[in-house]
Each structure stands twice: as C-alpha cells, then as structure tokens.
Amino acid sequence: MSYEPPLQGTKRPDLMKAVKYIEEIYSEKKERSLNEFIRMSGVEDFDPLIEDDIARLFSVLVTLTRPKRILEIGTSIGFSTTILAKAMEEWGGRVISLEIDAEVAKNAIANFKREGVKDSIDVVIGNADETIRDFEDDSFDIVFQDSSKRLYPVMLDECLRVLKPGGLLLVDDTLFPVINPKEEWTDSDEAIHRFNKRLLERSVISTILPIGEGCTIAVKL
C-alpha cells in the first residue's frame, strides 16, 4: 500500500515543528526527563531508552487501564521501568522486567532505589525469549517490548500468550524501517518490518504512532 497525501486543503502540522512545540510545552512541567535520568545514573550515551513523549504516553495508558502486572522486555538502565512503576504507585501494581545483561540490571536496580520504586519491580536475568516461557498464559495486563530488535518477530506470539485478553501490547522503535532507505536496511530494520507485518495477522487491534522512533499500541482480542 502506497502513501496517499492528505486531500487538498487539509491542514496538517509539520511533524518536526509539532515535536518541538510539545517539548517546549512539557519542559515547564516538573517531571523526570530522560536526559536527567541518564545524568543521575552516571551513564552516558546509553541505548535503548524510550523518549520523553513515549514516557508520557505510557503514564497516560497505565493511568487509564490501571494494570496490576506489567511485563517489560528489556530493562536497560530502568527509565521506562521507573515510568511504569511510578504510574502504578496509587494501586500497588508490579513491573516484571526481563534483562539479559546482569551488569546493566545492577545499574537499573540502583536507579530504582534512587527513584523510590525498587519494591514494586522484579528484574529477571536471562535471555528474554527463554525467560518469558516461565510465565502463565494471560498473566499480564500490559506487555512492553523493547528488547533486541531481532527478537521482535520471534517473541510476538509469546508476548501475546502471556497478555490477558483486552490487555495492551506496547512496542518501541517500530518505525525503524522508515529511517533508512530500504536498500540500506539493517538486520534490525528487517526484523521490525517482519514484526509489523506479522502483528497484522494476529488477533489484535493495533496502530503505530509516529512518536519517538515509532510506538505500536495493540489490544489483544
């Protein structure tokens, strides 16, 4: 399916101008930003981490759906984990986060202590495509996928298996394939493209939002 421009006369905001405007508006709000979190962690140029606009989206979604259990795949230094845990503080929800690197997890746990959310987060060390098998069917209200991109298509069915009907599947970086021309796609670009196509074949309602580097939201039917 090819892209069709909006009808003549339809006004749409310039995306980059919109992003800048949103950043300026929210810079006035007293909340922990990604850059501040990284600075306080003592870690520089660490990837992958969700952007501030996705963090705000997740806070809204968690507040709306009031989940009791969230599965995060890819802890990193714990920015997204912290955002999810803080959004559930009112009703005592838990985040279970899967991380392959024990040293990275140690850094994340130190961040959880500093942010006051350590007691509501469990970090599981190991290969995510293996450790996810330990969880029961329909046992999570939200699943957030932000692991190695090659695992996106591989883990899709497991993510949906552990997600409750009506639960949310959140996936970061799903617009990687439009960042580079197709002839320059990396293995990660190819994997995410396969994931995006495969998700359409599953029993979900989904959309991709052009924020950050792309964020997919899907509801399991």
pLDDT digits (tens, 9 = 90+) for 184-217: 999 999 999 999 999 999 999 999 999 989 999 9
pLDDT at 13 over 60: yes
Q: Which strands, in side-by-side order, build the sheet including 69-73? A: 121-125, 94-99, 69-73, 140-145, 163-172, 215-220, 204-209
Q: What are the start-end ranges of the E strands in 132-193? A: 140-145, 163-172
User: Which of the residue ranges 18-32, 52-66, 99-113 would you say has the lowest mean pLDDT?
Assistant: 18-32
* Residue 28 is assigned to a structural domain of this protein: no
* Residue 202 is assigned to a structural domain of this protein: yes
* Residue 36 is assigned to a structural domain of this protein: no
Segment 87-93 shows an average pLDDT of 97
* Residue 128 is assigned to a structural domain of this protein: yes
Q: Rounded CA gap, 144 and 30, in Å?
A: 25
Q: Rounded CA gap, 149 and 4, in Å?
A: 28
pLDDT at 46 over 70: no
- Assess contact for 142 and 171: CB atoms under 8 A: no
Range of 174's domain?
47-220
Considering the chain, what is the average pLDDT of its residues? 90
pLDDT at 3 over 60: no
Q: Rounded CA gap, 109 and 175, in Å?
A: 29
126-145: pLDDT as tens digits: 999 999 999 999 999 999 99
Per-residue confidence (pLDDT) for residue 126, from 0 to 100: 98
Domain count, the chain: 1
Which one is predicted more confidently, 217 or 178? 217
Q: In the chain, pLDDT over 70 holds for what percent of residues?
A: 86
Question: Residue 95 is inside which H or E element, if any?
Answer: strand 94-99
The reported pTM is 0.88
* CA distances, 24 to each of 21, 29, 52, 58, 79 (Å): 5, 10, 12, 19, 21
Question: Residue 149 is inside which H or E element, if any?
Answer: none
Q: Rounded CA gap, 29 and 181, in Å?
A: 37
* Residue 172 is assigned to a structural domain of this protein: yes
Which one is predicted more confidently, 102 or 11? 102
* Residue 30 is assigned to a structural domain of this protein: no
* Residue 6 is assigned to a structural domain of this protein: no
Segment 87-115 shows an average pLDDT of 96
* Residue 75 is assigned to a structural domain of this protein: yes
Which one is predicted more confidently, 108 or 12? 108
Per-residue confidence (pLDDT) for residue 16, from 0 to 100: 78
Measured over the CA atoms of residue 54, residue 77, residue 121 and residue 116, the dihedral's sign is negative
Confidence of residue 169 (pLDDT cuts 50, 70, 90): very high
pLDDT at 63 over 70: yes
Q: In the chain, pLDDT over 90 holds for what percent of residues?
A: 73
- Assess contact for 172 and 12: CB atoms under 8 A: no
The domain that contains 82 carries what CATH number? 3.40.50.150
Per-residue confidence (pLDDT) for residue 67, from 0 to 100: 99
